[in-house]
Structure 1
């Protein structure tokens, strides 16, 4: 119950930002953020009535938001049980990495023409991860890692790519929950995030893309191994 109350409190705190024109979209965005930030984990129930009270929106609005997130593969409806946060399958994991390579590597290739503030967001995410690690807040390290990869794809400069990446990386956060120790998983990638950012800053795009491909290959192999061990 305390964990459920935590994410509901976050929804309630953000409800003033729910706009009238696209209320269901906004509620879906708030729920997606709870997933991306690690507050909602695979298998968690998302109670319709409690969410409606927290967000102060109608049942129909909640159901439309659920429909949007079910289509994004973040939630699943179970007959006579309700709506739950989805578990990513091993096949789904492989597909996530397939698409991530396309989007993030294109972001790296676009870095030379990206605005300075876009590259600065990559560096800010790296620094956030390092600060969170220094404080021993490993769930926050996971959130910073998600923001880092979002910022890489955002170097493309396409709102459509940004939207697709947000959806993909929310799914990735669900994958992170499958790892037993957040520190054990995330700690080795802090230095790799820093190295990748340094290569981008130096303008060594070929080396940056090679580093990113190796990074994604290693992360996928590590997560796939963890999935197999759980079966």
Structure 2
């Protein structure tokens, strides 16, 4: 990766977790592009940290599946394949579908978190800040999954949350939904929220599936339009 001023110099003593956090933010913002190479030597010089620290940071991001390491060829920001997208959304629709199946039995107290998440998404949409919208969007869907009422499921979703956030960031950077169709995107989430509040299992199930399917199709289109073989070393 070229040292071009996009990444600030960090102080000595910086931990791998801090380097990973900075790289994660750059990946989510689009400053580091899908498929972009992450060279240990260049990052070490830019951050003024050891190559071991950089290597450990890249390892953390690899476990989050937003960086991939190629044997003898180094690391790159993940460039999703169509199978990656299908697999990620298979997990998402399974979990959100399970939450929708419980809509009829949810209490007002259980739905409070979903309402708060929708209100945060509405506020972020009104502010028009793309990164905040992506974060609030993910938090809304995390709240949907939370309605299953399982700590283990919540932990599992948290494990894929960074990867899902990256997918949503790619959608935003490609289609600019927050600026081109903010009202329509918010309306889709409002309808899902309302179906849960109405305890309408059939409608909640249909809407979470339709919303996920639409995003999945858009992401597959993005992947299909990318010359993957030109970017992998």
* Cα distance between partner residues in 2 of 1:132 and 1:107: 24
Name the structure where helix makes up a greater proportion of residues: 1
- Normalising by structure 1, what TM-score? 0.71
* Cα distance between partner residues in 1 of 2:193 and 2:110: 12
* Cα distance between partner residues in 1 of 2:45 and 2:166: 22
User: Are 1:219 and 2:222 matched, yes or no?
Assistant: no
* Cα distance between partner residues in 1 of 2:137 and 2:221: 20
* Cα distance between partner residues in 2 of 1:113 and 1:65: 43
Structure 1 residues 62 and 109 mapped into 2: Cα distance closer, same or farther (>3 Å)? farther
* Cα distance between partner residues in 2 of 1:36 and 1:109: 35
Deviation of residue 112 (structure 1)? 4.8
* Cα distance between partner residues in 2 of 1:115 and 1:33: 37
Counterpart for residue 86 of structure 1? 78
Query: Contact 1:108–1:205 at 8 Å: present in 2 too?
Result: yes
User: Are 1:182 and 2:159 matched, yes or no?
Assistant: no
Deviation of residue 197 (structure 1)? 0.4
- Normalising by structure 2, what TM-score? 0.71
Query: Contact 2:98–2:148 at 8 Å: present in 1 too?
Result: yes
* Cα distance between partner residues in 2 of 1:153 and 1:123: 13
Query: Contact 2:100–2:205 at 8 Å: present in 1 too?
Result: yes
* Cα distance between partner residues in 1 of 2:20 and 2:114: 22
Larger Rg: 2
Range that drifts further, 41-50 or 28-37:
28-37
* Cα distance between partner residues in 2 of 1:28 and 1:160: 29
Counterpart for residue 171 of structure 1? 163
Counterpart for residue 94 of structure 2? 102
Structure 1 residues 61 and 130 mapped into 2: Cα distance closer, same or farther (>3 Å)? same
Equivalent position SS for 1:180: helix
Deviation of residue 147 (structure 1)? 0.9
RMSD: 3.7
Following superposition of structure 1 onto structure 2, how do residues 102-181 of structure 1 map, counting pairs within 5 Å? 102-113=94-105, 116=108, 118-176=110-168, 177=170, 179-181=173-175
Query: Contact 1:27–1:62 at 8 Å: present in 2 too?
Result: no
Query: Contact 1:126–1:194 at 8 Å: present in 2 too?
Result: yes
Deviation of residue 94 (structure 1)? 1.0
Deviations 1:158-189 (A, max 9, x none): 23222222233322332332552322476532
Range that drifts further, 33-42 or 87-96:
33-42
Structure 2 residues without counterparts, runs of 5 or longer: 228-233
Structure 1 residues without counterparts, runs of 5 or longer: 16-22
* Cα distance between partner residues in 2 of 1:134 and 1:170: 24
Query: Contact 1:123–1:197 at 8 Å: present in 2 too?
Result: yes
